[in-house]
Amino acid sequence: MAHPRTANPWSGAIWTLCTLLGAVVLWWLATVKWGWIAPTRFPTPPEVLDALRFIHQEGYSNGVLFKHVLHSLRLVAMGFAVAVILGVSLGLWMGYSRRAEAFVNPAFLLLRPIPPLAWIPLAIVWLGLGDGAKILVILVAAFVPSLINTFTGVRQIEPHLREAAQMLGVRGWALVREVLIPGSLPMIFTGLRLSLQASWTTLVAAELIGATYGLGSILHQAAQDIFPAMIMVAMIWVGICGASTTALLGLLEARALRWRPTRENS
């Protein structure tokens, strides 16, 4: 009998590292070695390293790199957390109750096509140019994926499971806790990943307006100063932060879904 092959947990990280190293080598060849791209249009790796060293030691756009990164992480964490709490709760309620779906769905269908960035002017009118407006825009962007995937996850639960639980007297909050949440958890985490990606995508645009600190503030200031290397530093750190938080969410998902049966090799 053939035994299922155990996946190497390091294989994905090794391939990712090789891909990144290959991209850096091609970048260096195109900008430094062969000169295919003019440095005025696209910075070279040494220039980006110099810009990274400068913002780390001297600071840029009102602060050092660490301060900007922490500020952006805080905005994303607050907007993402509130969006997930609201989105998952509302998705569970809509999935549990047909009346709730009929009540919420019309308004949701009306608001869903509006791009999150379209809320920036209204957020500024309501909350000014401070962090509150940025958090609100991130919240709007992250709210939709978490709600949709939670609702879909609840509705994909086999009807006989809900019926069996109700026959055993499991109703109300007990039904949500014992049946709906565990059954929809894979889809909930799918929504969380999409919400986290939307949070980082929206953050940069939100911080371009009236930001004092943050990675978006670096991008805005570097664009005004025509400083391509610093623009690359900010873009790279947005990618690093996004990938790191997604990896942490993946670890949480793996831990939360340990109860799921593994797929056996046929």
Whether pLDDT at 264 is above 50: no
- Is-above-0.75 flag for pTM? yes
Assigned domain for 9 exists: no
Tell me, yes or no, whether 8 lies in a domain: no
In the predicted structure, residue 174 carries a pLDDT above the cut 90: no
Flag whether 22 is in a domain.
no
Q: Are 228 and 43 in contact (CB under 8 A)?
A: yes
Given a contact cutoff of 8 angstroms between Cβ atoms, the answer to whether 242 and 197 are in contact is yes
Is residue 4 included in any domain, yes or no?
Answer: no
* 2-55 pLDDT, tens digit each: 444 445 556 667 887 888 888 888 888 888 888 788 777 889 999 999 999 999
> 53 is written with which tokens?
């060293």
Q: Write phi, then psi, for 136 (nearest 5 degrees).
A: -65, -45
User: What's the number of domains the chain is made of?
Assistant: 1
Domain that holds residue 206: 50-256
**pLDDT tens-digit map of 118-153:** 999 999 999 988 899 999 999 999 999 999 999 999
Q: Is the pLDDT of residue 263 over 50?
A: no
Alpha helices in the chain (DSSP H): 11-28, 45-57, 65-96, 98-111, 120-127, 131-155, 159-167, 172-175, 181-207, 215-224, 228-256
d(CA 202, CA 198): 6
Closest Cα to residue 75, out of 240, 204, 244? 204
- DSSP 8-state symbol, 119: G
Position 237 in a domain: yes
CATH number, domain of 234, equals: 1.10.3720.10
Structural domain includes residue 38: no
What pLDDT, on the 0 to 100 scale, is given for residue 265?
42
Residue 44 region by backbone torsions, left for phi larger than 0, else alpha for psi between -120 and 50, else beta: beta
Percent of the chain topping pLDDT 70: 92
- The conformation of residue 213, written as its DSSP 8-state character, comes to S
Q: What pLDDT, on the 0 to 100 scale, is given for residue 153?
A: 93
